């Protein structure tokens, strides 16, 4: 599914109950009856300050609404930013795991170098944070929103 179709799917009110966050860079909507949400990047880059502020708001919603899983659709991104990824893993995901959300689905951009950057980024996190445990949550890479939703429904 290309990024335009993903965004059309994210804007489809039939599968969502609430909009949690919407700004120039991101939209996060709760999935009906699935104790989950999907957050989609809308532009090719998200400034780290907005990224952190947005994801902290999403974390509060995840805790209040008792989400079990979270989908992050990064398909619109064309810029990999290591400091954002590091914060996302070592701070944000850890916070969510402490509140019971430990299943994450990722939709990466269709760029091979981005996928390699993610793997290199994880290696950098391991070097800088040797005590960080990637096994406290599970990450599933999926090709599109439908695959993520079907996986949530089947688990």
Going by DSSP bridges, is the β-strand pair 36-41/26-31 parallel, antiparallel, or unpaired? Answer: antiparallel
Stretch (H or E) spanning 40: strand 36-41
Tokens at residue 23, please? 């700004």
Per-residue pLDDT, 4: 43
59-81 residue pLDDT tens: 999 999 999 999 999 999 999 89
Which residues touch 129 (CB under 8 Å, ≥6 apart)?
86, 90
Rounded to whole angstroms, the Cα distance separating 83 from 76 reads 19
Instruction: Show me where the domains of the chain are located.
Output: 3-154
Q: What is the pLDDT of residues 5-31, one digit of tens each?
A: 444 455 556 788 899 999 999 999 999
Give the residue among 48, 103, 114, 105 at the shortest CA–CA distance from 76: 114
Q: What is the mean pLDDT of residues 127-143?
A: 92
What does the DSSP assignment read for 42-69?
-SS---HHHHHHHHHHHHHHHHHHT-SE
- CATH assignment, 3-154: 3.30.750.24
Max intra-chain CA distance, the chain: 44
Positive or negative torsion for Cα 124, 126, 128, 132: positive
SS3 4: helix
Dist CA 105 CA 135 (whole Å): 15
């Amino acid at each position: 599914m290309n990024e335009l179709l993903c965004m059309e799917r994210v804007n489809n009110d039939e599968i969502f109950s609430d909009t949690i966050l919407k700004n120039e860079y991101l939209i996060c909507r709760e999935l009906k009856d699935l104790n989950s949400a999907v957050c989609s990047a809308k532009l090719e880059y998200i400034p780290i300050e907005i990224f952190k502020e947005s994801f902290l708001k999403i974390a509060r919603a995840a805790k209040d609404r008792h989400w079990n899983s979270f989908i992050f659709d990064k398909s619109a991104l064309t810029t990999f930013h290591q400091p954002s990824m590091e914060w996302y893993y070592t701070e944000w995901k850890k916070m969510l795991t402490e509140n019971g959300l430990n299943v994450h689905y990722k939709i990466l951009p269709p760029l091979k170098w981005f996928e390699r950057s993610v793997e290199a980024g994880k290696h950098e996190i391991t070097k800088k944070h040797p005590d960080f445990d990637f096994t406290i949550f599970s990450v599933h890479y999926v090709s599109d929103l439908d695959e993520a939703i079907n996986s949530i429904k089947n688990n």
